[in-house]
Amino acid sequence: MKLISLDIFFITGCLVCSTAGSTGVFKEQGVQVSTEWSTFQIQGSNNENRDIVLCSLRNKIKRHFCSKAHALAEKIENLKQKDVLGKNLDAVNMSLLKETYSVFRTAYYLAKNNRPFTDHETLIELQQLNGVKMGHILHSRFSATNIIESIAKEMLCSIVNNIVSSSSKLAVLIDEASTLSRKTTMIVNIKASVLGEPPEFIFLDLVELQDQTSEGIIDALMSCLTKAGFTQEWLKQNWVSFVSDGASVMVGKHSGVSTKLKKRFPKLLTWHCMNHRLELAISDAVDKVTAINHFKIFVEKLHFEKASNDDQRNCTERQTYRGLCDRLKSPEFLCDLGLMYDTLHELSIVSEELQAQTMTLLRADLLVKRAIRVLASFKTQPGEKLSAALGAKDHGTFKDVHLKSNPKIKSINTEEFLQSLIDSLQKRLPFEEDILKDLSILDTSRWPSEPGIRYGEAEIRRLCTCFNLCPDQAIKGLRDLIESPQTENQNLEPLKNCMQTFPVSTAECERGFSLMNTILTNKRSVLLVSNVSNLMMINLNGPPISLFNPEKYVQSWARHHRTANDPQSRQCKSVNMMIDKKSVWNII
């Protein structure tokens, strides 16, 4: 029996009876739940002796515990926990819900294919004409909105419950953007392991920001996580990584979002998106080398050659375009173009690979270090396009175009530019962080030829302490790996899954914003942010329409809403009744 007591006044009550409230359908003659016990009004005797008062309370508690009313309340509580009534209701309604399944699939189709809610009515009419039974309600665009909201909430609940129950490690990614209606929104994505599989990215929510300061963003983020079902205690144990772009409000040293989150969650690893770092590194190199600025300005002014001979333009414009055309035909520009192509092509490959969903910190570290070595090699061995440009310079022609040297052009110093770019990459992308050093122990390619049996134990212990994992299990797995590198090792799986949970970039957030812009067209810009979030939840996380099973979503809906064939609801008006018929239709 669950009791709540206030020792100061010797007042108690029964939590089980309070939860049951009344006997309901289990009512028996002469048996009812005591109001005093259910409202916590039971007192001991009025005697001033504490022992006598406590003895009186014990007798009352014993008599209540043995009473039929309390036994009936316990029975009701157990049935509530087993959800017997709900399951019986589902079984009775199963045969009556098939028409509602069809309606739910139609609404789901709208979300997966970015169709407007108004298509719901016409799609249902089409299916009815094809002989599909669709019921007589839930056919309006308002019903479609509510159904999509119900499906999205049920999806989110299932995902979060699985993550929380399995204590999977969690990474959170956020980014900001504005909608067509100029609302500032924040997309929240997570990365976690579901059903024991490798971690994957999951869209969590699209939040409208009322305050764009660091405190406002943190409040919105924590409210989003709490609303989804992640408690503060669970987050302290399992939230391992936070990733954002490089805006000062996000990564500011003193008052940025990541800094303040670090104070709340000391073990949290905060990470600046590597794609943004790469972009900033290139921007730094461009600013340092003056000749690149000239190249950049020239490219921005490029037009067609015929503009130099266009009689409709004045002499100044024609001379300007003639000068631009001459510069294009100079070997200096051709060599600069070859250098920029080789360099940016190499960096674009790295940027695309960093956006892969399976990218890990160790792999990203390897790719960037490799790119730096490739850029360094360009100093002594030119790339493909620069080699072709140098060859054309020696021959004086490039693809049947005669090259004419222009001494006024300030060419890019190849070695200076490459070294500036390498320095910027090494500055913006620090590779000597402790977390990367410790995680590198899991990469056997970086091991010495004959590692000792206790090799890497200190790093493994630090990682396990940081991420709340069992160090003994991980160390046992490491020793097994050292002795038998080829055998499957289950003891290291929790640590490997944790490592794979760390996102490298916020590319998933950018993909989410791309979908948001696809949904929020000019005609749909008035959609509520909550409705856009529901559509994105289904579109990004839901299976294709052929694999969608509406059963559990319809069952959840039926407990609180009416089904498509509810006999007490008014039948929807036929679309044909509202169409003005034309006489020509009779002969078509």
Question: 246 vs 207, 249, 461, 513, CA distance in Å?
Answer: 20, 8, 31, 17
Region 306-318: mean pLDDT is 59
Compute the distance between CA of residue 92 and CA of residue 97 in angstroms, rounded to an integer. 10
- Phi-psi label, residue 30: left if phi above 0, alpha if psi -120 to 50, beta otherwise: left
Model confidence at 119: pLDDT above 50: yes
Region 180-194: mean pLDDT is 89
pTM for the model: 0.76
Q: Which of 14-28, 41-55, 148-162 has the lowest mean pLDDT?
A: 14-28
Q: What is the pLDDT of residue 8?
A: 43
**Is the pLDDT higher at 268 or at 66?**
268
Q: Which of 327-331, 455-459, 494-498 has the lowest mean pLDDT?
A: 327-331
- At 194-242, the pLDDT tens digits run 988 889 999 999 999 988 899 999 999 999 999 999 999 999 999 999 9
Contact 240, 269 (CB under 8 A): yes
Q: What is the pLDDT of residue 318?
A: 64
Q: What is the pLDDT of residue 544?
A: 94
Q: Do the bridges between strand 269-272 and strand 239-244 make them parallel or antiparallel, or are there none, so unpaired?
A: parallel
Helix (H, G, I), strand (E, B) or coil at 396: coil
Compute the distance between CA of residue 285 and CA of residue 303 in angstroms, rounded to an integer. 27
Compute the distance between CA of residue 504 and CA of residue 59 in angstroms, rounded to an integer. 64
Q: Which of 55-64, 348-357, 426-435, 472-481 has the lowest mean pLDDT?
A: 426-435
On average, the pLDDT of the chain sits at 83
Q: What is the pLDDT of residue 172?
A: 95
Amino acid, res. 458: A
Compute the distance between CA of residue 158 and CA of residue 175 in angstroms, rounded to an integer. 24
Q: What is the pLDDT of residue 86?
A: 60
**Is the pLDDT higher at 276 or at 408?**
276
Model confidence at 308: pLDDT above 60: no
Compute the distance between CA of residue 456 and CA of residue 449 in angstroms, rounded to an integer. 14
**pLDDT tier at 2, thresholds 50, 70, 90:** low
**pLDDT tier at 7, thresholds 50, 70, 90:** very low
- At 523-567, the pLDDT tens digits run 888 889 999 999 999 999 999 999 999 999 998 888 887 877 776
Q: Which of 54, 46, 10, 16 is nearest to 34 (CA)?
A: 16
Model confidence at 10: pLDDT above 60: no
